[in-house]
Amino acid sequence: MSESPKARVALLGPGSWGTALAIQLCRNGHQVRLWGHEAAQIEALKRDGENRQFLPGFRLPPTLIPTDSLDEALADATDCLVVVPSHAFRSVVSALHERLPSGMGIAWATKGLDSTSGQLLHTIAQECLGDRPLAVASGPSFALEVASGLPTAITVASATGSFAERIARLLHGDRFRAYTSSDMVGVEVCGAAKNVLAIATGIADGLGFGANTRAAIITRGLAELIRVGMALGGRTETFMGLAGIGDLVLTCTDNQSRNRRMGLALASGKGVREAMGEIGQEVEGVVTALAVHRLSTRLDIEMPISEQVYRVLYEGISPEQATKALLERDPKPEFG
């Protein structure tokens, strides 16, 4: 992949992932304006020279300029990368409508569905911005490890091949491999569904079940993800790739995952609010569990593990009751 000319990137969302990606872009020689909607948070970034709230311990490079002005972030920007949580995606992207030059594309690294409609995020971007290039970046990538420069691989999917290549080139570096894909739907479904399954795995581990259970949830969870992903038009190879099995395994097996930690907390008897408060960051699987429940009901797709996570989060059943319900299901052919 040839090196890209130096870009000026408007990166929207100064959380842990936005900050890590901003650091990665600066490593590649690009300039970044990192926009956040809270003036106090941006002031703290400028004052501290690091993101103490979401990604402590990493100096912000001099080519990374924090700002709370969307206009300033976008002034002269060559590229725009959105990294806000899914619940804020629609409002942030609709604010771009009047500000983006016509024809300029946007990419996002948000994982989740639209929190009110359950739609995939490219549909929201199309609704808000009309016809322009869109791309989603996803894959197994904890912010802390990317900021630390540990080898990582992700995928950038777009229906516009040249736009996927452009965004991948911006991000790709010595220790950060950015592949490309044309399967936006598959990549978006994977990034959303895996968070719900990570909560399930956290619950199982928190209840003291073993390695067999964890492997079973990951594998049968993948089957659920594939069923819903195929129904929406995603491709099989995507589910077997970085955004699919790659991110599912990462998130289900490592305690850096906030979704997995949510499951562990629920299994220890904590309530959803208490656990979210302790984690202190976005736990995307919570709103996604509701969206996936609605989606699977509408499409009439069996997603038993995700459904039990939904019932624990929204119907107040206990993790033990959810486990019992899963284990009592009738045996059936593994495939088909």
Ligand X SMILES: NC(=O)C1=CN([C@@H]2O[C@H](COP(=O)(O)OP(=O)(O)OC[C@H]3O[C@@H](n4cnc5c(N)ncnc54)[C@H](O)[C@@H]3O)[C@@H](O)[C@H]2O)C=CC1
Q: State the minimum distance, in angstroms, from the CB of residue 152 to ligand 13P.
A: 9
Touching ligand 13P, residues 123-142 (CB under 6 A): 140-142
- DSSP 3-state assignment of 35? strand
Q: Which of 187, 194, 147 minimizes the C-alpha distance to 305?
A: 194
**One of 6, 46, 194, 332 is an active-site residue; which one?**
194
Alpha-carbon distance of 28 to 69, in angstroms, equals 24
For helices 304-314 and 211-231, what crossing angle results, to 10°?
Answer: 100
Binding mask 99-118 for ligand 13P (x = CB under 6 A): ------------x-------
**Token couple for 240:** 């077997």
Touching ligand X, residues 40-69 (CB under 6 A): 41, 54
Concerning whether 194 is annotated as a catalytic residue, the answer is yes
Touching ligand X, residues 263-302 (CB under 6 A): 281-282, 284
> Taking the chain, what is the end-to-end CA distance rounded to the nearest angstrom?
40
Residues contacting 312, CB < 8 A, separation 6+: 203, 266, 318, 319, 322
For helices 184-206 and 304-314, what crossing angle results, to 10°?
Answer: 60
Alpha-carbon distance of 198 to 203, in angstroms, equals 9
Question: Is residue 71 within the footprint of ligand X (CB under 6 A)?
Answer: no
The window from 32-40, 175-183, 201-209, 291-299 that contacts ligand X (CB under 6 A) reads 32-40
Residue 27 touches which of ligand 13P, ligand X, none (Cβ within 5-8 Å per kind) = none
Touching ligand 13P, residues 237-256 (CB under 6 A): 247, 250-251
Task: Indicate which residues carry an active-site annotation.
Answer: 194
Contact residues: ligand X, CB under 6 A: 13-18, 36-38, 41, 54, 83-86, 88, 92, 109-112, 141-143, 281-282, 284
Binding residues for NADPH: 16-17, 37, 111, 143, 258, 284
